[in-house]
Structure 1
Amino acid sequence: MTRYSMLDLVPIRAGGTPAQAMAQAADLAAHAERQGYHRYWVAEHHGMAGIASAATAVVIGHIAAATNTIRVGAGGIMLPNHAPLTIAEQFGTLDALYPGRIDLGLGRAPGSDQIVARALRRTLETDPNAFPQDVVELQRYFAGDDRTGIRAVPGAGAKVDLWILGSSLFGAQLAAMLGLPYAFASHFAPAALDQALEAYRRNFRPSAILDKPYAAAAFNVLAADSDDEARLLASSTEQMFVAIRTGKSIELPPPVAGYRAQIGVQGNTILDHVLECSAIGGPETVRAGLAAFIERTQVDEVIVTGAMFDPAARKRSATIAAEAMRGL
């Protein structure tokens, strides 16, 4: 059976607060655990009005404390923003607190614009080899082999599952070279999905971590008890995507009836592209969409994502997705 997991951007609803967003994330994670989701990831974003997961390691600790068995982690940490030693210490601490449950997905994008990137790390590395070198350095801290000359405490010996994330061939090739699991961000950047998965599998080198490729891909599920209800609820996510792609930063807005009929050609073109890997609808529509996605990609794991304004509706969507996956 294909595993199913969840990616949560910890959305801040219009009129809401970060505290409410994090409480809702913990509640959703506990619900996902009960529904059989394998892992629950949050992602690093900065300077965005509608996303509360900027301090990603702190949010992971909050979610891990609210759950018992589900794996919890980052999907991902944008490593160019950080010194690898800092990340080793943060995730070593999480592993000490919640042993055997912590994942660390690594991306090379800054997670925001260049101004924010400079504010986070002060200097921006332009060497294309910098990200692979940082990943290897991070691995050495976790290994505790003293090759860096520094021992990460906590960190050395931590059993943190490392992943490479990506939306292009670069991440796929790096994950293959290092023998690490790979997750593709098809929930917002679907264009290179098929090529990246093929490159990862073709070039994979067995490692002490994996003896064969292990691939996951993200898929938007915006589900309700009927197709019409789901299309209405999905308009909150659609508004967020259009805002982000047109350079705006907004909190998660309430749904708008007939939203796509109101936004013109440009908005619909944005959504047609960004939502290519999505299922919006009732249980049968979602089941068919997930089945087609798995058939297309042959992934080992589907990472379900998709925000809704009403937390109860989002939990219902997560339940429908889980039921669909169990039924495949």
Structure 2
Amino acid sequence: MSTNRSRQIEDIPLSVLDLAPITEGATATEAFKNTRDLAKHADKWGYHRYWVAEHHNMPGIASAATSVLIGHVAEATTAIRVGSGGIMLPNHAPLMIAEQFGTLESLYPGRIDLGLGRAPGTDQRTAYALRRGHGSGGDDFPEMLEELRAYFNPDLAGGVVPVHAVPGEGLDIPVWLLGSSGFSARLAAQLGLPFAFASHFSPENTLPALDLYYSNFKPSEVLDAPYAMVAANVAAADTEEKAQFLATSMEQQFLGLIRNQPSKLQPPVKNMDELATDYERSILKKQFGSAIVGTGDQVKEELQSFLNETGANEVMIHSQIFDHAARLKSFEIVAEATGRKNR
């Protein structure tokens, strides 16, 4: 893997991935209040980006109307970049996404990111309800991406576009490709675009996908060199024992996905072994074994190891913690441990 492994965690951007979790006993209204509060907190602590992700038919995730939530976050913050991690492009007409993000960029100039994925962000039945049988299955994602980018920059289509995105056309909105396998890694490399990898739920594919991206990258008007961001599950607390306890909410969320029984984010438990079978525990270990959990010093050390291993330019932190105050504290501990200052 040809990339720079000399970067220090203190010197690279740290960002936030938020799924707007709906906790057990709470509602989407409370989830949105917490998202707004966390975004303001991350803004003060020097985090670089705050991304929300498109998911559907998930009782514990409130970020289905992703563009609307981005506006809610951007309005409450001042410096942090706000964007999608990501918009699932096959669910939408490219023109609509160009107009939505053109609107966001016009409202919050210089702060909007457009991260794109090709998965539906849901189950097949819900995907059909979203697309009504007329949408893309993801196979034509490269063509949809080309169309979307041309709405922002008609020169990419030879300067001739039959339909104009207003607002959108002529705006400089960074486009990222997101992935959990090699498809988007290779496409991002071919187009010279930044690439974000979902290490938080596809840890075994991280290095192969990054290798594809680094080794196939072609410089473009967007980037002279590869720019990769990797996402990691993180839970930090004042003691390792408390951090491990907090992290069991994330583990229970994974367990629900294994069982095809998604639910609201559950309170932490003292012993995950009592909730899962041996087979489920083996899957959890594979899926969640790369999570970074501990005190500030422990998290800093593991983040540095993760950075050394991946050669990434940026790390995005995903923390599904049940108690909102503990979640705020976790991001604060990570910021302090990696040399960020409350501004």
Question: TM-score, normalised to structure 1's length?
Answer: 0.96
Q: In structure 1, give the amino acid aligned to 2:126.
A: V
Offset at 1:127?
6.9
RMSD: 1.3
> 1:174-253 counterparts in 2 under 5 A?
174-253=187-266
- Check conservation: 2:92, 2:135, Cα contact below 8 A: no
Decide which moves more: 43-52 or 257-266: 257-266
Percent identity over paired residues: 51
Residue in 2 that maps onto 1:40? 50
Matched, 1:296 2:320: no
Residue in 1 that maps onto 2:286? 273
The SS at the match of 1:192 is helix
For 1:219 and 1:277, locate their aligned partners in 2 and report how far apart those are by CA, in whole Å.
8
For 1:95 and 1:243, locate their aligned partners in 2 and report how far apart those are by CA, in whole Å.
36
Q: In structure 2, give the amino acid aligned to 1:11.
A: P
Residue in 1 that maps onto 2:8? none
Residue in 1 that maps onto 2:64? 54
For 2:75 and 2:83, locate their aligned partners in 1 and report how far apart those are by CA, in whole Å.
12
For 2:256 and 2:137, locate their aligned partners in 1 and report how far apart those are by CA, in whole Å.
28
Question: TM-score, normalised to structure 2's length?
Answer: 0.92
For 2:335 and 2:146, locate their aligned partners in 1 and report how far apart those are by CA, in whole Å.
35
Matched, 1:255 2:268: yes
For 1:137 and 1:48, locate their aligned partners in 2 and report how far apart those are by CA, in whole Å.
29
Residue in 1 that maps onto 2:183? 170
Residue in 1 that maps onto 2:334? 321
Offset at 1:124?
4.4
For 1:124 and 1:84, locate their aligned partners in 2 and report how far apart those are by CA, in whole Å.
11
Offset at 1:115?
1.1
Matched, 1:148 2:161: yes
**Greater relative contact order (Cα 8 A, min sep 6): structure 1 or 2?**
2
Offset at 1:326?
2.5
Residue in 1 that maps onto 2:15? 5
- Check conservation: 1:290, 1:325, Cα contact below 8 A: no
For 1:207 and 1:157, locate their aligned partners in 2 and report how far apart those are by CA, in whole Å.
18
**Number of residue pairs the alignment of both structures matches:** 326
- Check conservation: 2:15, 2:50, Cα contact below 8 A: yes
- Check conservation: 1:224, 1:282, Cα contact below 8 A: yes
Q: In structure 1, give the amino acid aligned to 2:100.
A: Q
For 1:230 and 1:93, locate their aligned partners in 2 and report how far apart those are by CA, in whole Å.
40
Q: Which runs of 5+ in 2 are unaligned?
A: 1-10
Q: 1:183 to 1:262 in 2, by over 3 A?
A: same
Residue in 1 that maps onto 2:136? 125
For 2:150 and 2:249, locate their aligned partners in 1 and report how far apart those are by CA, in whole Å.
42
Structure 1 runs of 4+ aligned residues shifted over 6 Å read none
Q: In structure 2, give the amino acid aligned to 1:172.
A: A
Q: In structure 1, give the amino acid aligned to 2:136.
A: E
Query: What are the superposed Cα offsets for residues 164-184 of structure 1, whole Å, 9 maximum, x if unpaired?
Result: 000111110000011100000
Q: In structure 1, give the amino acid aligned to 2:23.
A: R
Residue in 2 that maps onto 1:67? 77
Query: What are the superposed Cα offsets for residues 121-149 of structure 1, whole Å, 9 maximum, x if unpaired?
Result: 12243573x10111111100011445331
For 2:274 and 2:266, locate their aligned partners in 1 and report how far apart those are by CA, in whole Å.
17
For 2:255 and 2:338, locate their aligned partners in 1 and report how far apart those are by CA, in whole Å.
29
- Check conservation: 1:278, 1:289, Cα contact below 8 A: no
Decide which moves more: 71-80 or 243-252: 243-252
Offset at 1:159?
1.8
Matched, 1:282 2:295: yes
Q: Which runs of 5+ in 1 are unaligned?
A: none
- Check conservation: 2:90, 2:137, Cα contact below 8 A: no
Q: In structure 2, give the amino acid aligned to 1:137.
A: E
Matched, 1:137 2:147: yes
